[in-house]
Structure 1
Amino acid sequence: MPDLIEPVIGLIGGSGLYDIDGLEERAWRRVETPWGEPSDLLLFGRLAGVRCVFLPRHGRGHPTPPSALNYRANIDAMKRSGVTEILSLSAVGSLREDLPPGHFVIVDQFIDRTFAREKSFFGTGCVAHVSVAHPVCPRLGDALEASARELALPVTRGGTYLVMEGPQFSTKAESELYRQWGCSVIGMTNMPEAKLAREAELCYATVAMVTDFDCWHPDHDHVTVDQVVKVLFGNADKARALVKAVVPKLGQRRGPCPAGCDRALDHALITAPEKRDPALLAKLDAVAGRVLRAA
């Protein structure tokens, strides 16, 4: 019988969400990583007795744009802090009429259209290929959906998040193309975040919070910045309520992840042990220590 683990819930806050209410024993701490500096200090605390670690993705005050985020440092810092599962909260535009501003989407797929970001912890000296066919942990998705419905939040389970590079928004032609692809929402931040979480063997799920319709919509040009900001901060309030509701559901001691998220590296390393670069292995101590120690 495998040992049960005590979950530690990692929370990554998107635009408008720079703190988490209700945390007890709270302390902002610097976490050093071999990949550089995370977006900000990490906020440690307990919510309903459950250990949590919060990171504002863009930093408090939103100083860092999507393309400049150090995604590897952010995920490594979470793993290094004992996090076992990550709930990612992200502001997005809608690509569907039935997903209006204020709606939440618990996405289950991504299309990665980014091109200017470091996307893997692995590379020359230690090559690994992990599966991201199903990038979201269904167990986390189930808990998020149940909590959202208990709170009567407007929520849709399932959908594809198109991740664009930015910082500019889409052209109308691009927006229409992504709609033809069957995408539900569009944003700039969940890739390579989700891929790196999988490499770090962390369960991961995203709540995409719609702030506006993307430029395909005929009413898009009439939306003001004030309206978007109002929805953004309204979504942040709903997200805080969702976090308070879902964390206790995920805080019970558990066995291995049924979807195998916590064993993603079992068959991923392809470089022969004698050919592995010691310098890169040292940087992988938190992310891949489980399999490297067993090699």
Structure 2
Amino acid sequence: MTNTIKKLAVIGGTGLTELEGLEIIESKEVATPYGKPSGPLVFGKLDGKEVIFLARHGNPHRIPPHEVNYAANIFALKQEGVTSIIGVNAVGGIEYLMGPAHVVIPDQLIDYTHSRKNTYFEGEIDAVTHIDFSYPYTESVRQLLIDAAEAHDVAYSDYGVYACTQGPRLETAAEVARLERDGCHIIGMTGMPEAALAAELEIEYACLALVVNWAAGKTANIITMDEIDQAIDEGMGYVRQILVETIKQA
């Protein structure tokens, strides 16, 4: 398919604090009207294609989901001329087909977060603005991710409703049951307000999610960090394959 990506950024989540194979040209600390981003913007080339990488939780991984400065992160990328963002997210699986180490390219989300700065349209503004957020993920960017997964024969799902919860704690079994009744397939803590802020700045955005655990109550076991780390070790290679292929085709 014909793509329209002019300048691509990747925001890495848990398990992806750097992008292997990226030929680093520059690492730059930037300032924004909304404070400092999670870390320096890493400018580089991968297979000759320019890309900017930002570690959402910092490098090393130190910023919890509810304290990430999403507004600064997205604004910093906009300042550098980014037109499209791929957000990588570690998530829990609710849908029975979406177990640990499975890749999901969601097409919808529900926001359950609170107390996060979730808009640029506040304070002293010229006019009230309501963006259309019916479809939170840019279909053309989603299709690039889908094509990349197909090219590498990665097991993936090309649909899914992402439930974004506040964190940093994991959910109760009752909460997961409620989310399942709401129609959610995966649970994460970083999908919002990131996607909405990108939309407000007219940046294309898509999510590449890796399931790292079954959500609470989906098995008889409690969730452990060993389980999560094992799924990250197993599945992050698939994520990197998809990212590299997507960047090549972008």
TM bracket (short chain): over 0.9
Q: TM-score, normalised by structure 1?
A: 0.80
3-state SS of 2:60 partner: coil
Of the two, which has the highest radius of gyration?
1
Residue correspondence of structure 1 range 1-295 to structure 2 within 5 A: 7-126=6-125, 127-221=128-222, 223-250=223-250
3-state SS of 2:21 partner: coil
Q: Is the 1:7–1:51 contact (alpha carbons within 8 Å) kept by the matching residues of 2?
A: no
Using the TM superposition, give the Cα deviation of residue 146 of structure 1 relative to its aligned residue in structure 2, in angstroms: 0.8
Using the TM superposition, give the Cα deviation of residue 22 of structure 1 relative to its aligned residue in structure 2, in angstroms: 1.4
Unpaired runs of at least 5, structure 2: none
What do the CA deviations read for 1:183-210 (whole angstroms, capped 9, x no partner)?
1100100100000000010000001110
Distance 1:164 1:211 in 2: 16
3-state SS of 2:171 partner: coil
Q: Is the 2:103–2:239 contact (alpha carbons within 8 Å) kept by the matching residues of 1?
A: no
Distance 1:247 1:133 in 2: 26
3-state SS of 1:220 partner: coil
Q: Percent identity?
A: 35
Give the total of aligned pairs: 246
More off after superposition, 53-62 vs 21-30: 21-30
What do the CA deviations read for 1:129-185 (whole angstroms, capped 9, x no partner)?
111111100001111001001111110001100000011111111100111111110
Distance 1:97 1:31 in 2: 42
Q: Is the 2:38–2:68 contact (alpha carbons within 8 Å) kept by the matching residues of 1?
A: yes
Using the TM superposition, give the Cα deviation of residue 25 of structure 1 relative to its aligned residue in structure 2, in angstroms: 4.2
3-state SS of 1:125 partner: coil
Moved beyond 4 Å, runs of 4+: none
Q: Is the 2:165–2:188 contact (alpha carbons within 8 Å) kept by the matching residues of 1?
A: yes
More off after superposition, 17-26 vs 223-232: 223-232
Q: Is the 2:113–2:166 contact (alpha carbons within 8 Å) kept by the matching residues of 1?
A: yes
Q: TM-score, normalised by structure 2?
A: 0.94
Using the TM superposition, give the Cα deviation of residue 237 of structure 1 relative to its aligned residue in structure 2, in angstroms: 2.2
Q: Structure 1 residues 157, 124: CA separation in 2 closer, same or farther (over 3 Å shift)? A: same
For 1:48, give the aligned amino acid. D
Using the TM superposition, give the Cα deviation of residue 82 of structure 1 relative to its aligned residue in structure 2, in angstroms: 1.4
